[in-house]
Structure 1
C-alpha cells in the first residue's frame, strides 16, 4: 500500500533488512521521482503537490514485482514532520524494516483560514450578507474555511477549535460559543465533533473545507471581534505552543433594533448607523405555494394520506408573531427581541405532541408529516425559503465620527453601507418566513388571492379583487368543515363543499325582518368558511354602525353572535373577507371584517353585501 505525501520531503533509507529483492518507486512528484534500489544510501529530496512512495519486492528476477505493506509513524505530532516510514514483505513477523526511511517534511506551515469567518443562519442555512453577524437574529453557525498547508492529510485526532483564551474574551464581549450540536445538525453539516472542536479528519494538503461552529451574538456590541483558532492533535503534540498552530481572524457584528420614537429600523456598526423606514415589501407567493408541503402527510394536491380527523392545534405564538410583523411593516414601535422570542416559542411549540407530525420529522419520508426544523410552517403547511424583500424605503446614514470631503467611512473598512440594508431585509425575511403572514403565503389556494382593484375601508372595509385562475373552488361554492380544521360541524359533509349558494344577496330590509323573530329561530342562523377558523356558525343578532377601530362606520353593519348549538367561536383574526351565508336559503348576507378584540370569538361583524355592491358599483 503506497504512502501519500504532499509538498517537499527529505527521504533517507536508514535500514534495509530483507532476504528478497526490494526497491521503491516515487510516483507523481514534480522533482526527485523515479525507481530506486532498496538499500541504505544518501538522502533524496522529493517535491510535488501530491505524490506517492511505494515499496516493492520479488523473490527472484523471474517474478513480477509486488507491492509491500507500508506504514508511517509521524508521532508525536509536530508541524515540521519527522516520521518513520517502513515497508514489509509478506513474512510472519511484521517489523516494517525491510526498508525503513527517515522522512522529514521541508515545509513550515500547518493550516490557514483564507477568508473571514462568516454567519450562516441556522433556520435555512443561508449566508448572511457579507457574512456579517446580526444581533437581532442571535444564534448562527459560524462558517470557518480551513486550508491544510501541512505535508500530510489530517487524521482522526486532528481538530480545529477556538482557544480557551479566545472563548473567555468572546464571553466578556457578549459572544457565547455553543458546543452542543444535535446528531441531525452534525449529519446536515457533514462534520464530527472532537472534544469542543470539529474533526479535520481526511482534509488533504492544498484542499480546503468549511467547518461550522455555533455562536450566540445577541449580547455582542456592533464592531469587529477577534477569534483565535487552533489546530491540535488530541493524541499528543511535540509543539503544542507553536504559534503556527494558531490563526486569529475577525468577525463583523451589526446590531439592529426599532427606534421607539421614530418607528425606524436602525442598524448600528462601529462606524455609525443606518436608519430605514419601510414603505413597501414584495413577496414571492408563487415559490411559496409551489414548494409547500402539508404537515398532515398529504401533498395538498390529492396525494398522500387524507388529513386526520380531529382538530388541528394552532400555535398561539404564530398569531402574535404575525401581529408584530404587521405592526413593524406599518412603521410602529416593535422590539426585534420580541420577534426573536416569538420565533423561539414558535419553533419549540411546533414540536409538541398534538401538532401534525408532532414528535419529529423523518427526512427519509418527506411526505410523512411532521415539521422539518429547517423550514417554517403555519400548522397546516410547511414552506421552503421564499423571497420577501423591501422594495420601497427611505434610509439615512450617520457616521459615528465627522469626516472631511465627499466620502465617509465604510462599515468595518470593507463592505458598503448598503450591505446593512440587505441585512435588515434578511431580518424581515426570516421573521416573515415563520409568521402566519398574508394569505398569499400561508394559506390554502382556496382562500381568495388575486390582484386588488377598487376598495373602500370606511363603512364596508372591502375591496374588489381579480381572482387567480388556479382557484380550486367554483363560483357559488364554499368549503364545508374540513377534517384538518379546529371545528368539525359541517353543514353537508365533513371534507365536502356547500354548493348552490345563490348570488342574490340578502337586503337590509330582509335582515331587519329576521330580527323580529326569536333569537333561536332557524331563520336567523348563518355560517361562514374562513381562513383561520374554517367552517363556523352564528346567529344574526342585530344591525348597528359599529366595527373595528381602523375605519369609520356610518351605516349599519351585520352583528353576529355565537350559536349555542355549536361549541365554536364565530370567527378569529384572519377570517376577514369570508362571506356570511344564510343557512336556510344559502343567500349571501355579509362580508366579515371584525370580531372580538380579546380573541374570544363571541361575536363577529360584517358589512352587508347589499352595501358592498352599491358602494363599489358591483353588478351581479
Structure 2
C-alpha cells in the first residue's frame, strides 16, 4: 500500500489555550508552561480520504511533553486542510528548533510521517535591571526602556520608564511606543549580517514575543494560578489582583473568555512594535547594512533604540501608521558604528471586508453556527490555512461564553474546503449541560464575536532573508478594538446574533 497522502506542509504554531490566541509568528516560549502545538494537515491527494487518524508521535526535545490524542475524521476531502492541535508542557523546553513528528493514516493506506520544526524561545525578566531577556540558539535579545500607552479607569495614560514606576495593570492592554533592544549574537560574527533568529524572522519578532508573553503570563496566572507560568517574566504583575476592562464577556466554559479578550487586546497592542520596526527589513538588518565592519572585526553586540508615536490606536486589519525614530549601533572588537533613521511605517497586516453569517433564529437545542469571510485588500478571500480563526458564543444572559474554532475545511457547517468560508458551530445540547452549572439561560439572543490571525505559510527551506519578511500571528479581524478616547463606545462589539426560541 502507498502512504497516506496527508502532510503538514508548513511550520506548526503555538496557541495559548487560556486566551485561545496564536503567539507571535507561532513561536513557542517556555515562560508559558502550557501551550498547544497546532498545525494544518493537508490532504495532498486527488481523492477524498476516509477514516483518517492524525496523531503527534514524538518531539526531539524531551523537555516538551505533549498530551496524547488521536484526531479522527470520517472524511477529509481532496485538497482540504484541517487544523489539529496537541496540548503540551513546555516548562522544561530548551530554546531552539526541535523536530516534531506527526503521523497520518487513512483507510487503504499506510501511515505517513510529517516531520517539522517548531521554534522555541525562553523569556525571563530581570527585576534588578528592569530588563526582559529572550534567549534562542542564535543569541539573546535584551529589552529595556519599554514605553507604552496603558489603561486607567478614566482613560489612557503615558508610561515612561524614566519617570516614576508605571502602575501595574496585568491584563492591559499596553500599546508600546518605544524600547531599547540589545542583541548579543552567539557566537560573535564576521561580515555585515549575522544569523537571523531561528534562521527565519527578523530580530524585532523577539521583542514582540517579549511584549506578548509578558502580558499572557499575567493573564494565565490570573486564570489558572501562579504555577502555570514563569512569573519571572511578569515583574510586578503578580502583586496586582486581576481585573478586566468593561464589556468583556463573562464565562467559564472552554476557558474564561474575559481572558481571551485581554489576550487579543494585548496581541493587537504589541503589534505596534512590528509596525514601527517594519516587516520588509527591520532596524537590525538595515543598520547592519549601513555599518559594515572592517575585515577581521567581529560583531559582539548590536542595539536599537526606537521611539514612535501613533496618530491612531492599533486596529486589527487596518493600515494604521507609526512615526518612528531609531538608532542602530554595532559594537565590534574594534569599536562601534551607528546609523539613524526617521520615517513613517504602516501596518501591512491588513484585511478588507469582514462578513459574518448566522441564522436569525434557531429552535432550542439545535446547533448554533457561524460562518466568517475575510477579504484581502486586493479583494481575494483569505482561504484555508491562511487564517487561524475562532469565535465566542455568549449566552443571552451573559453568564457564560463558549470558544468555538472556525475552519475552512469542508467539514460541519463549512460546505466546501478552501473556499474562504470559515465555519464553526456550538452543540447547544452539550453546552447546556455546562450552562446548568451556572444557571445560564439558553433562550433568547446569543451574541457572536469573531477573531482571526494570519498564519505564516512560508515553506520550510526558504532562504532566511526571504522567510523573514513574512510574519504570522497578527489579528486581521477582531471583535475587540483599542481606542485612546474613553468617551467612545464600548470597544467590544458583537458581529452577529442568533435568537434561540
TM-score by length of 2: 0.40
Higher relative contact order (CA 8 A, sep 6+): 2
TM-score by length of 1: 0.33
